[in-house]
Amino acid sequence: MLDLHCHILPGIDDGAQNMEDSLDLARKAVSQGITHILCTPHHHNGTYTNHKADVIVKVAELQRELDLRGIPLTLFEGQEVRIFPEILEEIKKEDILFCDMEDRYLLIEFPSREAPNYALNLLGELVAEGKIPIIVHPERNGTFIKTPNKLIDYLELGCLAQITAPSIVGRFGKTIQETAEKMVEHNLVQMVASDAHHVKKRTFYMKEAFEVIQNHFGQEKVELFQQTAKDVLNGDDVLKPSIERITEKKKFWRF
């Protein structure tokens, strides 16, 4: 199993604080059946800035520690990039890490309350440059919780969206869980990843999330999500099942 979103690198964001935390996360990942992790520290989110060159060094260091201990996990370099107006310039300056070697897919985080009004234009510009933004955890964003169909505008541009495993198993509460389920059901998200930060406080739940997806939406969806994760890491095209608009159930009042 692949995990495309994880704060496993030690001491550079609000994830693992030291090597011991990182190794705990790594062992937990292995116990979940995870074989490859895209290391995605926060970048440019107002609190943490993790430049491409620094992330590459940190990943190599942690990989060495894993190999020394025989922990069977392969790491790749990435970033969780908070949306900011100068992203294109930063890409041109080679300070942004992508999910793949072809520099096609990148993780984009929106502020938790809303989708900024410049977001649609900006992500459109990225797509025009051949980049494919993957919007992370839309089910935890205020705008998309209120109106999940607003995500469709971004998907129609060519963006993808990634749900967080703990959301769909209910670790962030009922509303987020229901939003996550609706998004999976209607093909508004194309993959699942852990966004794990800490082995106790915010762990993987990947195995559990795939169990929920399997039980509610079937094996085909599980396989599609897993294939999409592979395709993203390889920089290949992904299969996108057609998007269905979410319609609210009508309420009938008897009195």
Q: Which residues bind Fe ion (CB under 5 A)?
A: 80, 195
Q: Is 155 helix (H, G, I), strand (E, B) or coil?
A: helix
Residue 55 or 186 with smaller CB distance to Fe ion = 55
Residue 136 or 188 with smaller CB distance to Fe ion = 136
134's enclosing H/E stretch is: strand 132-136
* Interacting residues of 6 by C-beta distance below 8 A, sequence separation 6+: 15, 25, 29, 37, 38, 39, 40, 193, 194, 195, 196, 204
Residue 139 or 195 with smaller CB distance to Fe ion = 195
The least distance separating Fe ion from the CB of residue 136, rounded to whole angstroms, comes to 6
Residue 80 or 139 with smaller CB distance to Fe ion = 80
Cα separation, 42 vs 82, in Å, equals 7
The least distance separating Fe ion from the CB of residue 232, rounded to whole angstroms, comes to 16
Pairing mode of beta strands 191-193, 160-164 = parallel
The least distance separating Fe ion from the CB of residue 14, rounded to whole angstroms, comes to 9
Residue 13 or 95 with smaller CB distance to Fe ion = 13
Q: Is 142 helix (H, G, I), strand (E, B) or coil?
A: helix
The least distance separating Fe ion from the CB of residue 5, rounded to whole angstroms, comes to 6
Of 211, 224, 229, the C-alpha closest to 40 is 229
Residue closest to Fe ion, measured at CB: 195
The least distance separating Fe ion from the CB of residue 241, rounded to whole angstroms, comes to 25
Of 24, 36, 135, the C-alpha closest to 76 is 36
Residue 186 or 190 with smaller CB distance to Fe ion = 190
The least distance separating Fe ion from the CB of residue 160, rounded to whole angstroms, comes to 16
Cα separation, 228 vs 241, in Å, equals 11
